Chain A
């Protein structure tokens, strides 16, 4: 298989990227199994909350209030965090964020850095940039470690190695850790990872984390995780750099009451996630003594400026939309060509790319709306998908190649036909005549040319009946008279 590309600027379009994955029976089984398990757990824990819909509404309104007043909350966070001994940096784009991180690590003379829970670092392609300046990044989240050692890429927001099963993990660990007699027993695998990572926790003095929440009121940063490896990263090193998208802020400490409930239940199907870390600035003699927060824009302000699309930034990265999505179920995350896959990725990635790349992603959905139903912050993903599709079509309208695009021409022709019932009846007649040559004796069409072949690749189509409904209706009325 060709190496996975998670850079939307160079990744192949979704339908093309999906093809090799659809033929990968092992990966599809892994994805279907893992998402079934998480979904079943989520369903039980959501059902036990009689006020689940109110919780969703509360979470949605907390997050949309943040987006309406983002500047004020970010400035509040900056001043509280600074007062507590943290240093806040603002990064307009990926390049600025990378250079801020590299400068801090240079100052600390770091040659290694441990990392935890940071998708934004993948978004800004931090690891290769660090490597280029002689700093090796070590992923400490178990799933991220599996991927790093296996030269693989994340495929899910919460469970990045969801597409890998344990016999594959065994193979990767055995090969990369030199443990030829390692078994695929989960305990043996985690023990191997544990002793590998312990050495790193005890010897590396700098860490990079992401953030689940930035609390404006107190300048606190919060990370939730399941393994405790995050806790190690957040407490053992001397220097800690937190990289967070500007949308991650929430107003008050008390908002965690709602957010942590909806996040844990939606993400992992747990009442409470095992490790919830909260820290504010620096505490002398305890934990990192040098603490930096890098607030990353990287296209987020332009999303914020658009009415319908703004809700995209409510996302709290729970992955529930991925687990329920029937498209993601078939393809997993890699087909989306971005660190953010699944329904949320289909709307977030093209927007982060300012609609200049990843234009196939808004079409990577059947609009079944299962994502909207499970979203704990009520992002109407289908609505945003349709809005983005309209932007893609508006781009097409300005391109001369549209006159060679059969889908575009078909849509224009259909619109012409739908504008009057006379035209529509003529189109129906033409369709009936034109399809005759493809219709077999059994009355069905088994093979169509051109775009139609994309239907008949796996599906027959019943031939057009001799009489449309309106012809029947008219004939019946005449008989009545």
Chain B
């Protein structure tokens, strides 16, 4: 099977180890991965901050770039939610009929990583080994935007050595919200404080999620507080095997 990896702008720049982990997992499962060098950003940051015209130009760029892909895998639920929930509206207002039909044809081939593994490849046990105590935070866009349901938990529960600890208020936002964390920095921090209480009370070694954006937020505070817990993208966990242990995040 062939698939094209859309790494997303912030994973590319800030979290390259997540990209390497996705490559490791998918190639281990026999997927032939491509990486389109022209890729940049899906437009989520601009759209969610109110910069529609700018978001449109990035959305158009994305569709043109991937129109011939067999499947596009994206290790970020919020970027996938951007494409699924907002592209249609942007193209209806600003695009032409060609773009709209290209998008409609492309849409069913867009996958968030856990969707791609469970739905497209039909795999729950990816052969991973990660001997640690882990808790899972349900990123808002994966949970309520993509309705990924328990796919990530099914993947994690098949990882050998992994002890999965349930997180109280798992579905409550961590307070990141993109530019929300800057514009409403104090309220965002107050939300984060509540999330940290729940995360720390699991006494896990790692907190994982489908989105590095939430994890950058939670992990940034854990680091600030010398809290002794790390964050790791779900791909990082799924990449580890007995032969090659997972890449440490930091």
| CB of A40 within 8 Å of the partner chain | no
Q: Which residues on B sit within 8 Å (CB–CB) of A19?
A: 186
Q: A389-B49, A414-B45, A467-B16 are in contact. List 15 more A-B contacts (CB 8 A).
A: A22-B186, A366-B180, A369-B141, A394-B50, A411-B54, A415-B57, A418-B40, A418-B61, A419-B58, A446-B224, A457-B189, A458-B185, A459-B221, A460-B220, A472-B20
* Cβ B185 vs Cβ A457 within 8 A: yes
Bound-complex Cα distance A14 to B183 (A): 10
**Are B19 and A472 in contact, with the CB atoms below 8 A?**
yes
Query: Binary interface profile of B, 85-110, with partner A (CB < 8 Å = 1, else 0)?
Result: 11001000000000000000000000
- The answer to whether A424 and B58 have CB atoms under 8 Å apart is no
Cβ contact within 8 Å between A469 and B189: no
> When the two chains form their complex, are residues A370 and B173 in contact, meaning their CB atoms are under 8 A apart?
yes
When A and B form their complex, which 6 residue pairs have the shortest distance between CB atoms, in order from nearest? A366-B177, A389-B50, A459-B220, A469-B19, A368-B173, A393-B50
Q: Is the CB of B40 within 8 A of A365?
A: no
Is residue A311 within 8 Å, beta carbon to beta carbon, of the partner chain? no
Q: What is the distance, in angstroms, from B10's C-beta to the closest C-beta of chain A?
A: 10
Chain B residue numbers with a CB within 8 Å of A460 are: 220-221, 223-224
Known A458-B224, A460-B223, A473-B35; contact A392-B144, beta-carbon cutoff 8 A:
no
The reply on A159 being an interface residue by CB < 8 A is no
A15: contacting residue among B51, B58, B184, CB under 8 A: B184
> Which residues on B sit within 8 Å (CB–CB) of A372?
144
- Interface residues of B, CB < 8 Å — how many? 69
Contact at A468–B190, with CB atoms within 8 Å?
A: no
Is A465 part of the binding interface, using a Cβ–Cβ cutoff of 8 Å? yes
* A433 touches B (CB below 8 Å): no
A461 (CB) vs chain B CBs: closest residue = B220
> Is B121 positioned at the interface, with any CB of A under 8 Å from its CB?
no
**Smallest CB separation, A255 vs chain B (Å):** 28
A297-356 contacts to B, CB under 8 A, are 308, 326-327, 329-331
Tell me the complex Cα distance, A326–B143, Å: 15
Query: When chains A and B are docked, how far (Å) is the Cα of A161 from the Cα of B209?
Result: 37
A278 to B89, CA, bound (A): 41
Residues from chain B with Cβ under 8 Å of A389 in the complex: 48-50
Please tell me if the beta carbons of B192 and A459 are within 8 angstroms of each other in the complex.
yes
| A470/B7 in contact, CB under 8 A | yes
Q: Mark A386-403, 1 if CB is under 8 A from B, else 0.
A: 101111111000000000
Q: In the docked arrangement, what's the CA distance between A390 and B250, Å?
A: 37
Q: Is A274 an interface residue (CB 8 A)?
A: no
The reply to whether the CB of B157 lies closer than 8 angstroms to some CB of chain A is: no
- Are B61 and A393 in contact, CB atoms less than 8 angstroms apart? no
User: For B192, what are the chain A residues with a Cβ–Cβ distance below 8 Å?
Assistant: 458-459
- In the bound assembly, the distance between CA atoms of A77 and B20 in angstroms comes to 64
Known: A15-B186, A365-B177, A461-B216. A370 touches B40 (CB 8 A): no
Rounded to whole angstroms, the CA-CA distance of A415 and B250 in the bound complex is 29
Bound Cα distance A446, B221 (Å): 10
Which A residues lie within 8 Å of B19 (CB)? 469, 472-473
Q: Could you name 15 residue pairs across A and B whose Cβ atoms are closer than 8 Å?
A: A15-B183, A22-B187, A308-B89, A362-B50, A365-B177, A367-B140, A369-B145, A370-B173, A386-B50, A415-B54, A421-B37, A460-B223, A462-B220, A469-B7, A471-B16
Most buried by A among B9, B19, B85, B182: B182
How far apart are the CA atoms of A455 and B85 in the complex, in Å?
Answer: 27
Across the interface, name the chain B residue whose C-beta is closest to A477. Answer: B35
A426 → B minimal CB distance (Å):
12
Whether the pair B144, A370 counts as a contact (CB closer than 8 A) is yes
Given A15-B185, A393-B51, A454-B182, residue A411 in contact with residue B144 (CB < 8 A): no
Smallest distance from the beta carbon of B9 to chain A beta carbons, Å?
7
Is B67 at the interface (CB under 8 A from chain A)?
A: no
Binary contact track A74-98/B, C-beta < 8 Å → 1, others 0: 0000000000000000000000000
Q: How far is the CA of A470 from the CA of B145 in the complex (A)?
A: 28
**Chain A 437-478 interface 0/1 with B at a Cβ cutoff of 8 Å (1 = within):** 000000110100001001101111110110111111110000
Give residues of chain B (138-154) contacting chain A, Cβ–Cβ below 8 Å: 140-141, 144-145
- Contact check, B187 vs A470: say whether CB atoms are below 8 A apart: no
Closest Cβ of chain B to A13, distance in Å, is: 10
Closest CB-CB distance, A82 to chain B, in whole Å? 42
| Chain A contacts for B184, CB-based, 8 A | 14-15, 18, 327, 363-364
Interface set, chain B 168-208, CB cutoff 8 A to A: 171-173, 175-192, 194
Within 8 Å of chain B (Cβ to Cβ): is A407?
Answer: yes
